[in-house]
């Protein structure tokens, strides 16, 4: 048990950001990792030129890194946005334009998990209208994910850092997951269980794991406070990951933490080099 018993991947949208995007897979590989995940890398466009998609695919392949998670277009992230799919008008249209692009890229890279960030509440918009739009778009995303043999992830964020995001508890995200699965019949919508965000919301992490591990399709970690590497805060992450494993979770654990004032490559001293390659 413990960290060496987990399947870790590195989020290249929060780690190794001191490097250009196309250099990050090789940097992760040099640090010993063979699996990576990404937020949607093109924050300005849901439909980048094919040449840019091909270049990213080549960088992943050349580094020998497997892409195990990819966000759909989510607006300005990092930045003020927390997704686009529930935001009426242009952003919803951009999300829809991205669905097949992201699914096709995921398929080309062998990635089987697509994360659809819900989006913030918008001043002047009826929350019920936003939720209806969200379900429509999540159903479209679930269909695209199913087409390429992938799961669709729905994520809880934390209220202190994302005050306009409506899914700020595990039950809130689970409710959306269940609605999507009921609407599609595919059963491929899953919970993205992020221990950092849940802890920031003050949830009982062991209880969340017991209740929802069976519906979790992906896990992400960072320590709290600070969103740093394991050991920089007070979360018992090693124990919590063991609890997840005991509860039947056998998927990936994404390292989605800030490296602090040091180079990203120096932020992995908590994890033995022998435990970094995917198994």
| Cβ count within 10 A of residue 88 | 16
Q: Where are the beta strands (DSSP E) in 18-80?
A: 35-38, 66-71
The alpha-carbon radius of gyration of the chain (Å, integer) is: 17
Give the largest CA-CA distance in the chain.
52
Alpha carbons 261 and 181: distance in angstroms, whole number: 42
- Under 8 Å between Cβ of 196 and 162: no
- DSSP classification of residue 166: S
Of 71, 111, 79, nearest to 95 by C-alpha is 71
The residue behind tokens 């242009």 is: 90
Reply yes or no on whether 155 is catalytic.
yes
What are the structure tokens assigned to 248, written together?
A: 């039947």
Alpha carbons 20 and 40: distance in angstroms, whole number: 15
Write down the catalytic residue from 37, 91, 243, 256. 256
Write down the catalytic residue from 37, 91, 155, 243. 155
Reply yes or no on whether 256 is catalytic.
yes
- Under 8 Å between Cβ of 98 and 73: yes
Catalytic residue numbers, as ranges: 155, 256
């Amino acid at each position: 048990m413990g960290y060496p018993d987990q399947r870790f991947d590195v989020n290249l949208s929060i780690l190794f950001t001191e490097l250009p995007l196309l250099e990050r897979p090789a940097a992760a590989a040099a640090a010993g990792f063979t699996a990576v995940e990404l937020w949607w890398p093109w924050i300005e466009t849901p439909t980048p030129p094919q040449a840019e998609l091909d270049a990213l695919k080549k960088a992943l392949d050349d580094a020998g890194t497997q892409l195990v998670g990819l966000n759909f277009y989510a607006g300005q992230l990092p930045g003020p946005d927390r997704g686009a799919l529930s935001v009426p008008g242009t952003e919803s249209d951009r999300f829809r334009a991205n669905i097949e692009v992201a699914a096709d890229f995921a398929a080309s890279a062998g990635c089987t998990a697509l994360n659809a960030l819900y989006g913030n509440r918008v001043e002047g918009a009826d929350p019920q209208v936003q939720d209806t739009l969200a379900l429509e778009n999540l159903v479209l995303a679930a269909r695209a994910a199913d087409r390429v043999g992938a799961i669709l992830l729905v994520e809880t964020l934390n209220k202190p850092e994302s005050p306009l995001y409506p899914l700020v508890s595990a039950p809130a995200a689970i409710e959306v997951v269940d609605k999507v699965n009921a609407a599609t019949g595919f059963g491929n919508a899953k919970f993205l269980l992020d221990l950092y965000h849940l802890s920031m919301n003050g949830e009982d992490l062991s209880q969340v794991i017991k209740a929802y591990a069976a519906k979790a399709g992906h896990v992400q970690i960072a320590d709290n406070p600070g969103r740093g590497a394991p050991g920089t805060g007070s979360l018992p992450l090693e124990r919590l990951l063991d609890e997840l494993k005991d509860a039947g979770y056998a998927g990936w654990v994404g390292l989605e933490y800030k490296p602090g004032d040091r180079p990203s490559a120096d932020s992995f001293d908590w994890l033995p080099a022998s435990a970094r390659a995917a198994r």
